[in-house]
């Protein structure tokens, strides 16, 4: 097996992975950097983020406001020391991107423009029309081409982390083109491999978002944190799950039910605000969890619009006018027109909540370090606890940058702390075992399970039992089912026997990742007998700060369900309070 | 939801077992709103797990799923079944070597992107603490459309020059160089000219315009190429006829 020696291996080349790679290259041009991704960097799902990135820049804004919006938005499950660090780094990172050429939208005087976003008290979302993630990703990718020390391994699928002497010291990855396994020996590893929302059938997430990075860390012994918190974005196209950005509402779009009523006023987010004059942090600019929950209630009341793709409410943007829609929301217009046949300039768009983001992920601390020495993580795959129980829109793009960079700096500090060289023999043995495992999977005959079949059962289980509102019985059934699917996974067979670009094999490995992550979600959700942020229990309807002002930690077991543990939330200055989205009125 | 049975003819090629590409036909029950990618996913899930192709976002922004559909370069996630007859032929992007089935080898494109220095080379150094470079909406508009390229490579598949002269840097990479050249914050044009104002660069283009026609994001690489040609011509005149004038 070919051995590739490097200083830092990064798994994932989206926003966080690229930012980490650039930070490493800038800090020390002599560092050897291996940037490993199962796709070419510009295919990474950062490209699909639309609305923008939050960072305090305008004189009417303040760090304190960004802090309180984020912590309250997260229903006090955020670690406040980390939020503090995050909001202070945010403007610097967004300016850095500007200096690298990101085409941010501008005010007439040439300064950065900001737009309103849900749950934010002040306009602070930097945007590049409605393709902010796309431009961030391409700016980072293009900038990364300046640095010869960033050695890319495009289309390599990482299968295992290698751990010896209690430290992560590399990984094995399949070169997809040849099917050959490679052994990367690294002094530190950064995982930046994105979320896992493809475990649900109806999601904004691209096909690649299968939780591979989370599963890698989890299997190597690092716990997953707060996995039960899954964000539904309130405005997805009903037939495809394609996202229509929160920017639609930031620009003034309204949500109405089948009676034409702006129903959000009936769920603690009123009083009604004038059409076309959005008021921050209320009505349509409430947080995502509340808006998605309001949809659920409207559906129960029979107030939703029936479409051939299920029940919907309507996102009405007609009053914004063609000019503004073309300037601020051109992609939204294109997506709704092309994929649903509804032009937002002329008609209200049917939408419904759609799985969008995992608040949970690999447990990391303020330094983006996991509990496993040598292993760092950043971006959606990580849970550094700035998002708590509900992420505010436009915090995650900034998170990629702030913690992508931080992971790089922490990895450098770790390497410089003077490590003894690991045992190459032990690592080579592990790499060999990893190769053998994949070979055995490929060569196995007489399988009893189909990959697509197991995947569908997993998705259906998650959708039916682990949705916007949850019940103990249903969650228990989901735990049992996912556990059963994990067992049955041993019965799959790879029918594609070619070594070249074998997507049958990749889908099998991705399914394995998703099943492990899904079990962490279900087990965490069942045990959390309270309602907080995006985790709402119909049988435990109140937030329970006595029992659950805590992060859940799930520890992997190869055959059994994970071991569950809890960790106190870090509170520095904001005690848990009431989340008020009533626009300040009683 | 109406359904329609289509015949999907898909190019198959496995370098380990096939001496040359072949076609395989699949009967796919398609919903009216489906795109060609949905039909491929139906095949992968229900009929043949060995079919290989790239895709991810299913919303025409990640640029993974470019293919030849009935001979035309298209994003398969934005090629609607309703716009085709009952027989649809799907092949890998033209002008690129086939790696496997619908997957092409794209290193050449990536190398060309890298060559044109597609990153800001700032006119002036400025620390982050000094804030943003001011850029008016009008200055942004000058280059904005060229930032919209998703690197899907449909323009390379459509380009007759790239088919004949593989060294041609090609539409997307030149448009990207032009994007930075036109950015009010940038001062790197001279460095990029060394790469693009050459025979392999803009002078290879015969202005057929196919690149702009197939672009799913309405970037106009042909327009960018022509602008670079004009600017390069002016450079040449200045250099040879008026050497005392600074470029």
Which of A25, A89, A134, A201 is the mutation pick for testing B, counting most B CBs within 10 A? A134
CATH number of the domain residue A447 falls in: 1.20.58.100
A65 found inside a domain: no
Given a cut of 70, is residue B247 above it in pLDDT? no
Q: What is the pLDDT of residues B146-156, one digit of tens each?
A: 999 999 999 99
A95 found inside a domain: no
Q: Cβ of A578: how many Cβ atoms within 10 Å?
A: 9
Q: Cβ of A60: how many Cβ atoms within 10 Å?
A: 9
For the CA atoms of chain B, what is the radius of gyration? 21
Q: Where are the alpha helices (DSSP H) in A244-329?
A: 247-250, 288-301, 321-328
Minimum distance, in Å, between the CA of residue B159 and any CA atom of chain A: 22
- Both A226 and A242 in a single domain? no
Q: What is the largest CA-CA distance in chain B?
A: 71
The candidate with the shortest Cα–Cα distance to A403, out of A7, A23, A11, is A23
Q: What is the pLDDT of residues A157-190, one digit of tens each?
A: 999 999 999 999 999 999 999 999 999 999 999 9
Q: Cβ of B109: how many Cβ atoms within 10 Å?
A: 22
Contact list in A for residue B17 (CB cut-off 8 A) is 498
User: Which of A420, A444, A463 is the last residue in one of the domains?
Assistant: A420
- Both A387 and A505 in a single domain? no
A125 found inside a domain: no
Q: What is the pLDDT of residues B98-128, one digit of tens each?
A: 999 999 999 999 999 999 999 999 999 999 9
- Both A484 and A556 in a single domain? yes
The candidate with the shortest Cα–Cα distance to A411, out of A445, A375, A386, is A375
Task: Give the residue-averaged pLDDT of B117-146.
Answer: 97
Q: Is A493 on the interface with B (CB under 8 A)?
A: no
- Both A203 and A242 in a single domain? no
**Would you state the structure tokens that stand for residue A60, as one six-digit string?**
């009417």
The C-alpha atoms of residue A144 and residue A53 are separated, in whole angstroms, by 20
User: What is residue A513's three-state secondary structure?
Assistant: helix
**Are A218 and A516 contacting, i.e. CB atoms less than 8 angstroms apart?**
yes
Q: Which of residues 100-119 of A touch B (CB under 8 A)?
A: 100-101, 103-106, 108-112
User: Which of A331, A354, A377 is the last residue in one of the domains?
Assistant: A354
Q: Do A95 and B128 touch (CB under 8 A)?
A: yes
The C-alpha atoms of residue A44 and residue B61 are separated, in whole angstroms, by 10
**pTM, rounded to two decimals:** 0.97
- Both A473 and A535 in a single domain? yes
Task: Tell me how far CA of residue B49 lies from CA of A566, B35, B45, in angstroms.
Answer: 41, 19, 6
Minimum distance, in Å, between the CA of residue A153 and any CA atom of chain B: 12
- Both A151 and A224 in a single domain? yes
Which active-site residues of A does the annotation give? Answer: 233, 249
Which of A106, A202, A336, A502 is the mutation pick for testing B, counting most B CBs within 10 A? A106
Q: What is the pLDDT of residues A446-473, one digit of tens each?
A: 999 999 999 999 999 999 999 999 999 9
Q: In chain A, how many H helices and how many E strands?
A: 15, 22
- Both A345 and A259 in a single domain? yes
Which DSSP string corresponds to A76-123? T-S-HHHHHHHHHHHHHHHHHHHHTT----B-TTSSBPEE--TT-SS-
User: What is residue A233's three-state secondary structure?
Assistant: strand
Closest chain B CA to residue A493: B49
What residues pair up with A552 in beta bridges, in sequence order?
A566
- Both A466 and A559 in a single domain? yes
The C-alpha atoms of residue B98 and residue B100 are separated, in whole angstroms, by 6
Given a cut of 50, is residue B72 above it in pLDDT? yes
Q: Is B11 on the interface with A (CB under 8 A)?
A: no
Place of tokens 């050429």: A101
Please state whether beta strands B3-12 and B87-91 pair in parallel, antiparallel, or not at all (unpaired): parallel
**Are B77 and B44 contacting, i.e. CB atoms less than 8 angstroms apart?**
no
A84 found inside a domain: no
The C-alpha atoms of residue A203 and residue A466 are separated, in whole angstroms, by 13
* Structural domain total, chain A: 3
Residues 6+ apart with CB under 8 A from A300: none
What is the per-residue burial (b if ≥16 Cβ within 10 Å, else e) of B49-77? bbbbbbbbbbbbbbbbbbbbbbeebbbbb
A43 found inside a domain: yes
Domain span at residue A484 reads: 426-568
A121 found inside a domain: no
Residues shown for chain B: 247
- Both A20 and A148 in a single domain? yes
Residues 6+ apart with CB under 8 A from B163: B94, B95
**Are B97 and B104 contacting, i.e. CB atoms less than 8 angstroms apart?**
yes
Confidence at residue B1, expressed as pLDDT on a 0 to 100 scale: 55
The candidate with the shortest Cα–Cα distance to A348, out of A327, A309, A326, A319, is A319
- Both A343 and A464 in a single domain? no
Minimum distance, in Å, between the CA of residue A544 and any CA atom of chain B: 38
A108 found inside a domain: no
| B55 → closest Cβ in A106, A112, A207 | A207
Cβ-count burial of B142 within 10 angstroms (0-12 exposed, 13-18 middle, 19+ buried)? middle
The candidate with the shortest Cα–Cα distance to A153, out of A362, A49, A8, A31, is A8
Note down pLDDT in tens along chain A; length 586 residues.
Answer: 999 999 999 999 999 999 999 999 999 999 999 999 999 999 999 999 999 999 999 999 999 999 999 999 999 999 999 999 999 999 999 999 999 999 999 999 999 999 999 999 999 999 999 999 999 999 999 999 999 999 999 999 999 999 999 999 999 999 999 999 999 999 999 999 999 999 999 999 999 999 999 999 999 999 999 999 999 999 999 999 999 999 999 999 999 999 999 999 999 998 999 998 999 999 999 999 999 999 999 999 999 999 999 999 999 999 999 999 999 999 999 999 999 999 999 999 999 999 999 999 999 999 999 999 999 999 999 999 999 999 999 999 999 999 999 999 999 999 999 877 778 899 999 999 999 999 999 999 999 999 999 999 999 999 999 999 999 999 999 999 999 999 999 999 999 999 999 999 999 999 999 999 999 999 999 999 999 999 999 999 999 999 999 999 999 999 999 999 999 999 999 999 999 999 866 5
Contact list in B for residue A143 (CB cut-off 8 A) is 119-120
Cis, bond preceding A271 (omega within 30 deg of 0) = yes
- Both A190 and A276 in a single domain? no
Q: What is the pLDDT of residues B45-59, one digit of tens each?
A: 999 999 999 999 999
| A106 → closest Cβ in B15, B136, B148 | B136
CATH number of the domain residue A255 falls in: 3.90.700.10
Residues 6+ apart with CB under 8 A from B9: B23, B24, B25, B87, B88, B89, B90
Q: Where are the alpha helices (DSSP H) in A329-450?
A: 330-335, 395-416, 424-443
**Are A555 and A225 contacting, i.e. CB atoms less than 8 angstroms apart?**
no
Domains and CATH numbers, chain B: 3-104 (3.10.20.30), 107-241 (1.10.1060.10)
The dihedrals phi and psi of B69, each to the nearest 5 degrees, come to -115, 115
Contact list in A for residue B49 (CB cut-off 8 A) is 450-452, 495-496, 504, 507
- Both A451 and A496 in a single domain? yes
Closest chain A CA to residue B151: A42
For the CA atoms of chain A, what is the radius of gyration? 23
A89 found inside a domain: no
**Would you state the structure tokens that stand for residue B38, as one six-digit string?**
């949905």
What is the ipTM for the molecules in this complex? 0.97
The candidate with the shortest Cα–Cα distance to B37, out of A178, A565, A339, is A339
Minimum distance, in Å, between the CA of residue A543 and any CA atom of chain B: 36
The C-alpha atoms of residue A289 and residue A390 are separated, in whole angstroms, by 7
Q: Is A45 on the interface with B (CB under 8 A)?
A: yes
Question: Dihedral sign, CA of A150, A10, B61, B31?
Answer: positive
User: Which of A317, A336, A354 is the last residue in one of the domains?
Assistant: A354
Contact list in A for residue B180 (CB cut-off 8 A) is 101
CATH number of the domain residue A221 falls in: 3.50.50.60
**Are A168 and A372 contacting, i.e. CB atoms less than 8 angstroms apart?**
yes
Confidence at residue A390, expressed as pLDDT on a 0 to 100 scale: 98
End-to-end CA distance of chain A: 68
The candidate with the shortest Cα–Cα distance to A372, out of A359, A363, A380, A360, is A363
Q: Which of residues 69-88 of B touch A (CB under 8 A)?
A: 78, 80
């Amino acid at each position: 097996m070919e051995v590739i020696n490097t200083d830092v291996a990064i798994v994932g080349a989206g926003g966080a992975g690229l930012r980490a790679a650039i930070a490493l290259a800038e800090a020390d041009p002599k560092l050897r950097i291996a940037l490993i991704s199962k796709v070419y960097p510009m295919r990474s799902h950062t490209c699909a983020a639309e609305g923008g990135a939050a960072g305090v820049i305008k004189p009417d804004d303040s760090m304190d406001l960004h802090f309180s919006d984020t912590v309250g938005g997260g229903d006090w499950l955020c670690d406040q020391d980390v939020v503090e660090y995050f909001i202070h780094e945010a403007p610097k990172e967004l300016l850095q991107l500007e200096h690298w050429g990101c085409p941010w939208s501008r005010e007439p005087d040439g300064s950065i423009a900001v737009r309103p976003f849900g749950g934010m008290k002040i306009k602070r979302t930097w945007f590049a029309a409605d393709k902010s993630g796309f431009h961030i990703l391409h700016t980072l990718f293009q900038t990364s081409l300046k640095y010869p020390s960033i050695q890319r391994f495009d289309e390599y699928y990482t299968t295992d982390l290698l751990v010896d002497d209690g430290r992560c010291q590399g990984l094995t990855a399949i070169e997809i083109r040849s099917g050959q396994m490679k052994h990367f020996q690294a002094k530190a590893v950064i995982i930046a491999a994105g979320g896992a929302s493809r475990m649900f059938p109806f999601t904004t997430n691209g096909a690649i978002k299968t939780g591979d990075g989370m599963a890698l860390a989890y299997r190597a012994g690092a716990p997953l944190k707060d996995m039960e918190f899954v964000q539904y974005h309130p405005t997805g196209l009903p037939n495809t799950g394609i996202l229509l950005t929160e920017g639609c509402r930031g620009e003034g779009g309204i949500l109405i039910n089948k009676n034409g009523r702006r129903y959000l006023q009936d769920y603690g987010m009123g009083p009604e605000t004038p059409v076309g004059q959005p008021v921050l942090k209320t009505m349509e600019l409430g947080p995502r969890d509340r808006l998605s929950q309001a949809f659920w209630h409207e559906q129960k009341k029979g107030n939703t619009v029936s479409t051939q793709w299920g029940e919907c409410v309507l996102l009405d943007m007609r009053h914004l006018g063609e000019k503004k829609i073309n300037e601020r929301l051109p992609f939204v217009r294109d997506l709704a027109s092309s994929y649903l046949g509804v032009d937002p300039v002329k008609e209200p768009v049917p939408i419904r909540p759609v799985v969008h983001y995992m608040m949970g992920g690999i447990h990391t601390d303020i330094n983006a370090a996991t509990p496993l020495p040598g292993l760092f993580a950043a971006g959606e795959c990580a849970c550094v606890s700035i998002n708590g129980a509900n992420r505010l829109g436009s915090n995650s793009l900034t998170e990629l940058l702030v913690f992508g960079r931080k992971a790089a700096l922490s990895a450098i500090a770790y390497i410089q702390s003077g490590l003894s060289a690991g045992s190459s023999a032990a690592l080579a043995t592990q790499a060999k075992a990893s190769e053998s495992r994949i070979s055995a999977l490929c060569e196995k005959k007489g399988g009893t399970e189909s990959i697509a079949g197991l995947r569908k059962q997993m998705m259906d289980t998650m959708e039916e039992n682990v949705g916007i509102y949850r019940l103990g019985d249903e969650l228990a059934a989901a735990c049992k089912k996912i556990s059963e699917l994990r067992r049955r996974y041993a019965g799959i067979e790879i029918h594609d026997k070619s070594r070249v670009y074998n997507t049958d094999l990749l889908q099998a490995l991705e399914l394995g990742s998703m099943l492990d992550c899904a079990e962490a979600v279900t087990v965490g959700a069942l045990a959390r007998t309270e309602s907080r942020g995006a985790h709402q229990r119909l049988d435990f309807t109140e937030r329970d700060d006595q029992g659950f002002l805590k992060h859940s930690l799930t520890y992997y077991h190869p055959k059994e369900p994970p071991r569950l543990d809890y960790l106190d939330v870090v509170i520095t200055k904001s005690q848990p309070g009431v989340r008020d989205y009533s626009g300040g009125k009683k | 939801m109406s359904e329609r049975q289509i015949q999907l003819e898909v190019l198959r090629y496995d370098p380990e077992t096939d001496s040359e590409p072949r076609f395989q036909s699949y009967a796919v029950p398609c919903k009216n709103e489906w795109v060609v990618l949905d039909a491929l996913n139906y095949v992968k899930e229900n009929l043949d797990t060995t079919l290989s192709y790239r895709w991810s976002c299913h919303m025409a922004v990640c640029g993974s799923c470019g293919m030849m559909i009935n001979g035309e370069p298209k994003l398969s996630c934005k090629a609607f079944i309703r716009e085709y007859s009952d027989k649809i032929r799907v092949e890998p992007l033209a002008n690129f070597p086939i790696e496997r089935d619908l997957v092409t080898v794209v290193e050449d494109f990536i190398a060309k992107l890298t060559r044109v220095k597609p990153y800001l080379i700032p006119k002036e150094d400025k620390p982050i603490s000094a804030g943003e470079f001011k850029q008016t909406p009008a200055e942004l508009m000058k280059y904005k459309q060229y930032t919209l390229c998703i690197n899907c490579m449909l323009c390379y598949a459509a380009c007759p020059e790239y088919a004949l002269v593989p060294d041609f840097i090609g539409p997307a990479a030149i448009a990207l160089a032009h994007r930075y050249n036109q950015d009010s914050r940038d001062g790197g044009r001279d460095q990029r000219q060394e790469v693009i104002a050459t025979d392999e660069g803009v002078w290879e283009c015969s202005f057929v315009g196919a690149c702009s026609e197939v672009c799913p994001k309405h970037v106009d690489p042909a327009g960018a190429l022509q602008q670079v040609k004009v600017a390069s011509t002016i450079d040449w005149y200045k250099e040879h006829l008026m050497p005392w004038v600074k470029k």
